[in-house]
Amino acid sequence: MFMVYNKITEGIATAIRQIVGNEWFISNRADLGKYSHDETEDLRYYPEVVVKPKTADEVSALLKLCNQHLIPVTPRGAGTGLSGGALPVMGGLVIAMERFNQILNIDEENLQATIEPGVITEEFMNRVAAKGLLYPIDPASKGSCFIGGNIAYGSGGPRVVKYGTIREYVLNLEVVLPSGEIIWTGANTLKYASGYNLTQLFIGSEGTLGIITKAVVKLIPAPTTDALMLASFNSNEEACEAVSAIFRAGIIPSTLEFMERKAVQWVIDKDGIAFDMQPQDAAFLLIEVDGTNANVIFGDCEKINAVLETHGCTNVLFAESSAQKEELWRIRRTIGVSVKSNSVYKEEDTVVPRAALPQLIKGVKEIGSRYGFESVCYGHAGDGNLHINIVKANMSDDDWNTKLKDGIREIFELTVSLGGTLSGEHGIGFVQKDFMPIKYSPTHFELWRGIKQVFDKNYILNPSKIFNA
Amino acid sequence: MFMVYNKITEGIATAIRQIVGNEWFISNRADLGKYSHDETEDLRYYPEVVVKPKTADEVSALLKLCNQHLIPVTPRGAGTGLSGGALPVMGGLVIAMERFNQILNIDEENLQATIEPGVITEEFMNRVAAKGLLYPIDPASKGSCFIGGNIAYGSGGPRVVKYGTIREYVLNLEVVLPSGEIIWTGANTLKYASGYNLTQLFIGSEGTLGIITKAVVKLIPAPTTDALMLASFNSNEEACEAVSAIFRAGIIPSTLEFMERKAVQWVIDKDGIAFDMQPQDAAFLLIEVDGTNANVIFGDCEKINAVLETHGCTNVLFAESSAQKEELWRIRRTIGVSVKSNSVYKEEDTVVPRAALPQLIKGVKEIGSRYGFESVCYGHAGDGNLHINIVKANMSDDDWNTKLKDGIREIFELTVSLGGTLSGEHGIGFVQKDFMPIKYSPTHFELWRGIKQVFDKNYILNPSKIFNA
């Protein structure tokens, strides 16, 4: 289907201004620049107009107007996305949700909170932590990303391995549909078996079905103690094999992160983080256990240690202070940014059953050596979720622009052949959609397009994301 | 929309026989009887034909045929449903999934299992328990229900409070669509951010979108120790208030079940289970904690005890042996069956934010006293999920058949006003659908019907469930 969209005319612009107020209306090129990109590679697409509404009613009026005039609308959170989901590739209107920044309620009786989508994830986590509570969904970008974006893209982070996915924490959503109607998707309940679950359908729908204006999320009592260790291995394979073995030993760590040598090297070289890497270190696991009892944590660490010893681990560094924990986490969290700020790159977010990780990494390296690109691999090994940062290195501009796509295709083909899929937590957005047929059949596309049309028959919302019309 | 269905003619019956074989084709009235009801009240609807296919290809051929001839199809698991989801209210064909009873694979590397939908939940749990693993979704009917039914209805059970809902455990589904196409809904991965999540859409869709023929589920390391206590209270309100307080004290019990006096009395009177109930006992909490360390469990019990003491608990009985644990669980698990086998009844499955439980129970009693029905309340208090068994008691047949519906409506209105919804884990099925407009707007129905039509444009699959066409 080929969609025809209209431009924002003077008349429509005036109507938009009237809805949000002049102060929150942006149309000059310089100020639009910030909204022309997210954290996805170096891609830039300028919208015609950016608005910053404050209420669901304003969002409703904007969507009604755009629906009537067939103006493409791109919802935008903090712009930290890695799949181009916030890129206004069709121009039109960007609805920036940054003024939806209120934590409306933290209900300590029910362990639930009601928040607006523009709340920064870490700020929310800190607010609930002060009450002894945990909201465990913390992507690496937690200091700047918005919870609304996390929900729209099905974001994860390191603690999913123990605490479950964001799907387990989002109970109910207020959304504005493209028609302008405002609905709550479900109920503020921990269990829900009352018709098709629209809340779950919105999670991971990448702003293509409606715009989230409120979220009710579940909180849990916070763990009171934790331990962090960094285990070194002589090979990626041994590190990955240790991952499965830890679970088989009956332990569920609160995080179980993988970093290959090159990832850590990059952080040391480019960000000046001090870390004494040994020549033989090929890969690392960053393992955290948490709970409410120091003895149990200690026992878990001992069990993990025993597993590590029998899986080729050469050294285990136990963090002895919060400062040292923070330092180790900083290595892990800085990798992505470090790669991005120092090279032309592409980031993939492959996910496979966790025991397939060694094969995946080995295959990625082999593909890289054939195509001439370097890759920096790291990620949530406990979930089988491997981030692959492909860096240009010595690849020619020509090869980067033309041949690389075939290399990426091979990576995804391998991922799918191992029982995995294209994205574990970054979403498909704009940059991965062309690879979707590797995994999904025409029937899947037909079902997805059908669902899209139920919510957005004119395809105005975040067009050209996940799949084409 | 008014759907016109066709009857199964001789010719169609012959084609059906050819697909499944004569042995698995049932059309005589006597044998159809078993398939005319599930565990929902005393409702009976006879199908025209029942078949028991063995493969997805057979299911595919059946659905293609029925789609072509507009024959209504009702998928059936174990028939333990409580909302009438397996009732063939339009006649037609029942596809009984009992021969899909294989555990295809238990993958200890990845902690995943691939199972057919007709596997009995408890059998599967036992099989994985023998490997030190846990599949924690165990409805009270676990000894007879099928996992496929659990998935289709979003079933829960007592351990959701700690381990999360079935949504966290179902990773991927093989489904046959009404068109006859067979697809996998997602990938065998713990994280998934690759397009609209069809797996999640199928969970809780009550067999209206497709027929599940395989499921890949997540397993976790099993806890190795647990403790069980039964706490007595002088009032429902005090018991319910203690529930929230336990979480606020930082404990997540593995189960936190509520039973009012009448529920326990019913079990004692009707099932002869010995239990020394005191005259002042008005309500009970059955609290289990589990983990891997006996000292931690003991510490958790002490903390819970302290909370109970300050919330009006009059007695705590600690189970001192597995036999005693089993006995206490038998009380809880027998309530539903006990009520059903001894009285005309209706069962509601209300769910509210957990702190609203006292108000809900109080309201239910008040509504009952106005309408003249008795109610037996119990359920998953930790999740705010209250089962309300309405028993006919001294209500006249006339009132039961005509006025009761208004009373139930009032119960749901109260539930919704407290932030809850109609069903937490039993589904809407046939018997609750008329109450759905209490909670949901015409827009919700429009979206649901739209989704239904994407998958099943002829409305052949489980028609007249959740909502009308």
Q: For residue A116, which phi and psi values (nearest 5 degrees)? A: -85, 155
* A283 close to A229: Cβ distance less than 8 angstroms: no
- For chain A, which domains are there? 103-221 (3.30.465.10), 224-340 (3.30.70.2190), 343-428 (3.30.70.2740)
pLDDT tens by residue, A379-437? 999 999 999 999 988 899 999 999 999 999 999 999 999 999 999 999 999 999 999 99
Pairing of strands B255-260, B133-134: unpaired
Give the per-residue pLDDT at B393.
81
Question: What are the chain A neighbours of B384 within 8 Å (beta carbons)?
Answer: 110, 189-191
Give the per-residue pLDDT at B274.
82
Question: Rounded to a whole number, what is the distance in Å from the CA of A121 to chain B's nearest CA?
Answer: 19
> Of the candidates A349, A371, A376, which has an alpha carbon nearest to the alpha carbon of residue A431?
A349
> Of the candidates B144, B44, B147, which has an alpha carbon nearest to the alpha carbon of residue B87?
B44
Question: For A259-285, what is the mean pLDDT?
Answer: 91
Report how far residue B265's alpha carbon sits from residue B347's, in angstroms, rounded to the nearest whole number: 18
Report how far residue B131's alpha carbon sits from residue B108's, in angstroms, rounded to the nearest whole number: 8
Given A164, A189, A451, which is nearest B353 (Cβ)? Answer: A189
Report how far residue A284's alpha carbon sits from residue A264's, in angstroms, rounded to the nearest whole number: 9
Question: What are the chain A neighbours of B293 within 8 Å (beta carbons)?
Answer: 293, 295-296, 299
**Cα angle B43, B44, B46; round to 5:** 160
Question: Rounded to a whole number, what is the distance in Å from the CA of A26 to chain B's nearest CA?
Answer: 31
Per-residue pLDDT band at A49 (split at 50, 70, 90): very high
DSSP-assigned beta bridge partners for residue B349: B387, B423
Total beta-carbon pairs less than 8 A apart between chain A and chain B? 293
Question: For A145-174, what is the mean pLDDT?
Answer: 97
E strands, B129-218, are 133-134, 170-176, 182-184, 211-218
Question: What are the chain A neighbours of B221 within 8 Å (beta carbons)?
Answer: 247-252
- The answer to whether B198 contacts A444, with C-beta atoms less than 8 Å apart, is yes
Give the per-residue pLDDT at B273.
84
Q: Which of A190, A255, A257, A445 to mutate to test the interface with B (most CBs of B within 10 A)?
A: A190
| Tokens (6 digits) for A71 | 């103006």
Question: Rounded to a whole number, what is the distance in Å from the CA of A22 to chain B's nearest CA?
Answer: 32
- Residue B412 carries which side chain, given as an amino acid letter? F
> Of the candidates B164, B181, B170, which has an alpha carbon nearest to the alpha carbon of residue B215?
B170
Give the per-residue pLDDT at B149.
98
Question: For A3-7, what is the mean pLDDT?
Answer: 93
- The answer to whether A351 contacts B192, with C-beta atoms less than 8 Å apart, is yes
Q: Show pLDDT as tens, one digit a residue, over chain B (469 residues).
A: 678 999 999 999 999 999 999 999 999 999 999 999 999 998 999 999 999 999 999 999 999 999 999 999 999 999 999 999 999 999 999 999 999 999 999 999 999 999 999 999 999 999 999 999 999 999 999 999 999 999 999 999 999 999 999 999 999 999 999 999 999 999 999 999 999 999 999 999 999 999 999 999 999 999 999 999 999 999 998 999 999 999 999 999 999 999 999 999 989 988 888 888 999 999 999 999 999 889 889 999 999 999 999 999 999 999 999 999 999 999 999 898 888 887 888 999 999 999 999 999 999 999 999 999 999 999 999 999 999 999 988 899 999 999 999 999 999 999 999 999 999 999 999 999 999 999 999 999 999 999 999 999 999 999 999 999 8
Exposure of B348 in the CB half-sphere (CA atoms within 13 A)? 29
- Helices A442-455, B442-455: inter-axial angle, 10-degree rounding: 160
Question: Rounded to a whole number, what is the distance in Å from the CA of A243 to chain B's nearest CA?
Answer: 10
Report how far residue B272's alpha carbon sits from residue B266's, in angstroms, rounded to the nearest whole number: 9
The answer, yes or no, to whether residue A441 has pLDDT greater than 90, is yes
Question: What are the chain B neighbours of A165 within 8 Å (beta carbons)?
Answer: 168, 190-191
- The answer to whether B189 contacts A420, with C-beta atoms less than 8 Å apart, is yes
b/e code B70-95 from CB counts within 10 Å (16+ = b): ebbbbbbbbbbbbbbbbbbbbbbbbb
- In which region does residue B247 sit, left (phi positive, over 0), alpha (psi from -120 to 50) or beta (all else)? alpha
The answer, yes or no, to whether residue A2 has pLDDT greater than 80, is no
pLDDT tens by residue, A72-112? 999 999 999 999 999 999 999 999 999 999 999 999 999 99
The more confident residue out of B42 and A194 is A194
- Helices A357-371, A236-248: inter-axial angle, 10-degree rounding: 160
Tell me which long-range contacts B453-456 makes (C-beta under 8 A, separation of at least 24): B453/A450, B453/A454, B454/A447, B454/A450, B454/A451, B454/A453, B454/A454, B455/A447, B455/A450, B455/B177, B455/B178, B455/B208, B455/B209, B455/B210, B456/B177, B456/B178, B456/B208, B456/B209, B456/B210
- At which residue do the structure tokens 């018997």 appear? B431
Give the per-residue pLDDT at A187.
98
Given B355, B424, B441, which is nearest A192 (Cβ)? Answer: B424
- The answer to whether B244 contacts A109, with C-beta atoms less than 8 Å apart, is yes
Longest dimension (CA), chain B: 71
Give the per-residue pLDDT at B11.
98
- The answer to whether A441 contacts B183, with C-beta atoms less than 8 Å apart, is yes
Q: What is the DSSP letter of B120?
A: B
- The answer to whether A250 contacts B221, with C-beta atoms less than 8 Å apart, is yes
Question: What are the chain A neighbours of B247 within 8 Å (beta carbons)?
Answer: 111, 221
Question: Rounded to a whole number, what is the distance in Å from the CA of B206 to chain A's nearest CA?
Answer: 8
- The answer to whether B193 contacts A428, with C-beta atoms less than 8 Å apart, is yes
Give the per-residue pLDDT at B272.
82
Q: Look over chain A and give the mean of its residue pLDDT values, rounded to a whole number.
A: 96
Give the per-residue pLDDT at A76.
98
- The answer to whether A191 contacts B351, with C-beta atoms less than 8 Å apart, is yes
The answer, yes or no, to whether residue A1 has pLDDT greater than 80, is no
Question: What are the chain B neighbours of A356 within 8 Å (beta carbons)?
Answer: 110
